[in-house]
A = this chain, B = another copy of it.
Amino acid sequence: MKNRWAVISTWKMSQNGCAAAAELLGQGGRSGDAVVRGIQDVEDNPDFHSVGFGGLPDEEGNVSLDGGFMDGDTLRFGAVASIQGFRSPILIARSLIQNDRNNFLCAKGAEDYARMMGFEERNNLTEEIRERWKKERGRDQKLTAYDGHDTVCFAALDCYGTVSAGVSTSGLYLKKPGRIGDSPVVGSGFYADSRIGAAGATGVGEEIMKGVLSYQALQMLRCGKSAQEAAETAVKELTDTLVKRNGHADAMSLILLSKDGSFGVGTNIRFPFVFADDHHSPQLYLAQAHGSHCMVEPVMDADELTED
């Protein structure tokens, strides 16, 4: 057992969850448990409109959720896509790592599995969000970078040297029914390998998947870059590639944790995240792209930082 532990999570909404995850890791808890605890805090909060309860619905007004989990020791993963009516996609996703096969389930198949396993059911569409959807559905609007794709991602290292990654989201607001974003897609939305580190991505999933972003950043880390260099270079290169080939690149951000507990962040927007380790209590930071690099600064007054 080493003393070193660390956890990083996406967006300001993950502050409470990150504190809970840090507490668990500080008590010698496992990284997988910390990731799940942190994400569940966000899933259960109706004030966060891009994850779990209170999440934004698809075109037809249904809240369908994606989640993924990976264990860095075994490379086993579990994922659910387009699942409706359950409280915690991350719990369901994590349970699937026990299977040798059938680790990634979607839609009715995922719901039947979750029901059979006794996972808690919940209608995730709140009255507030239903009213908003009724007003905004059908508008021929161009969805912008902040319109409901703030996926919660956690990456954690425990004092046994195991890294884990997890994600949970309601996906793109007004998405087509059945749409799968990057979040439940191993390599794009998340990846974890205890020999290297763990990563998670948030932003427009269709862009993130074009570059298999989480896996790519971890390969850069493996090849000798620092965690910060790997994260910012992966996002910058993919952004530049998409601009060059398609004329534009949508929002994407990445959190990365190395196996030695150092962290890195890459983004092409304004991106808040939270980090804690055995020497630092949970702290909210703001990352912003700045030329080839990513500027990271602690946020001293969290109340002044708005996300929506």
Report how many copies the assembly holds.
2
Name the interface size band of chain A.
35 or more
**Which chain B residues lie closer than 8 Å to A134 at the CB level?**
none
Residue-wise interface mask of A (197-217) relative to B, using a CB-CB cutoff of 8 A (1 in contact, 0 not): 000000010100111100110
Tell me if A176 and B102 are in contact (CB < 8 A): yes
Q: A interface vs B, CB < 8 Å?
A: 73-77, 79, 81-82, 99-110, 112-113, 143, 172, 175-181, 185-188, 191, 204, 206, 209-212, 215-216, 219, 241-242, 245-246
Q: Nearest residue in B to A204 (C-beta to C-beta)?
A: B101
User: Do A75 and B109 touch (CB < 8 A)?
Assistant: no
- Nearest CB of B to A191, in Å: 7
A187 to B213 CA separation, bound complex (whole angstroms): 10
Q: Are A187 and B215 in contact (CB under 8 A)?
A: yes
A75: nearest chain-B partner, CB-CB = B210
Chain B residues whose CB sits within 8 angstroms of the CB of A216 once the complex forms: 215, 219
Q: Within 8 Å CB of A100, what residues of B?
A: 206
In the assembled complex, the CB of A150 is this many whole angstroms from the nearest CB of chain B, namely 16
Q: Which residue of B has the minimal Cβ distance to A246?
A: B74
Closest-CB distance, A50 to chain B (whole angstroms): 15
* Residue from B75, B79, B99, B107 in contact with A82 in the complex, judged by beta carbons closer than 8 Å: B107
B178 engages A75 (CB within 8 Å): no
Q: How far is A199 from B282 in the complex, measured between Cα atoms in Å?
A: 42
Q: A101-B204, A188-B186 are in contact. Are A209 and B177 (CB under 8 A)?
A: no
**Cβ of B178 and Cβ of A106 under 8 Å apart?**
yes
Q: With contacts A109-B82, A215-B215 known, is A209 near B180, CB below 8 A?
A: no
Closest to A209 in B: B186
Contact sample, A vs B, 21 pairs, CB 8 Å cutoff: A75-B242, A76-B246, A79-B180, A81-B106, A81-B180, A82-B106, A82-B109, A100-B206, A101-B175, A102-B172, A102-B206, A103-B206, A103-B209, A106-B106, A106-B178, A107-B107, A109-B179, A110-B178, A185-B185, A185-B187, A215-B216
Q: Provide the residues of chain B in CB contact with A242, threshold 8 Å.
A: 75
A73 to B175, CA, bound (A): 26
- Closest B residue to A58 using CB positions: B109
A102 to chain B, nearest CB (A): 4
Name the distance in Å between A249's Cβ and chain B's nearest Cβ.
Answer: 11
Given A76-B246, A186-B212, A215-B216, 4 additional A-B pairs, CB 8 A: A102-B206, A105-B179, A187-B188, A191-B212
A74 contacts B245, C-beta separation under 8 Å: yes
In contact, A101 and B177 (Cβ under 8 angstroms): no
Given that A177-B108, A186-B185 are contacting pairs, would A212 and B210 also be in contact in the complex, using a CB cutoff of 8 Å? Answer: no
Which residue of the partner chain B has the closest CB to A106?
B106
Taking the nearest CB of chain B, how far is it from the CB of A148, in angstroms? 12
